[in-house]
Amino acid sequence: MNMGRIDAKNEWWLKDASPNMIDINGTPELLEALCNNQDKLVVVDVYAKWCGACRALYPKLCKMGRQFDGKMVLLKVNFDENKDMCKTLGVKVLPYMIMYKGNKGRVEEFSVSISKIKMLREKLDIYTTDIPGEGYSKDECNLEEFGDSVWGDVDVENDAPKDAEGAQETLLPKD
């Protein structure tokens, strides 16, 4: 009998994913996915395998992913496997969503739960409405410059702020 954590028994985060849901592991993958999907709403879902609220939300995200296929891409970021990147993105609570729209960059970020599904749905409706000229072509998308517009100076190779001391001050509470 397996007495491990609930996430060890049931790989819920892998089940029933819609075709437009992409697992992201590290800053380079995140930047590439953002760059390659400039013509769509990109929703970054930060979750953890042990997070009960993340697990409850997941089936709803899969359903919404299918409903908005072609207009939205959902990037799944496992918090425990991408802690430095999540800190750089400003994630402080789970589950957490960050929305990017074409050349507008980051347009929304918020914590989400089952009780906020209606709000999430409304935001998806707003940001998946086609507005001409909002994206970059894939040829124009320079990953290093694009990364700067996503969150500032980040060392794409190492998933860390270029000025680690300065970033640490902004991530840690002041005494």
Which CATH number is 37's domain given?
A: 3.40.30.10
Range of the domain at 15: 6-171
Question: How does pLDDT run along the chain (175 residues), one tens digit per residue?
Answer: 444 445 546 788 878 888 899 999 999 999 999 999 999 999 999 999 999 999 999 999 999 999 999 999 999 999 999 999 999 999 999 999 999 998 888 999 999 988 999 999 999 999 998 655 455 555 556 555 555 556 544 444 444 444 333 332 223 333 3
Q: Is 54 a catalytic residue?
A: yes
- Identify the active-site residue in 35, 54, 62, 86: 54
| Stated pTM of the model | 0.75
Q: Which of 159, 23, 158 is nearest to 86 (CA)?
A: 159
Of 54, 55, 76, the C-alpha closest to 65 is: 76
The reply to whether 51 belongs to the active site is yes
Name the catalytic one among 35, 51, 62, 86.
51
Evaluate whether residue 1 is within a structural domain.
no
Number of structural domains found in the chain:
1
User: Which secondary structure element, helix H or strand E, spans residue 75, and what is its range?
Assistant: strand 72-78
Residue 99 lies inside a defined structural domain of this protein: yes
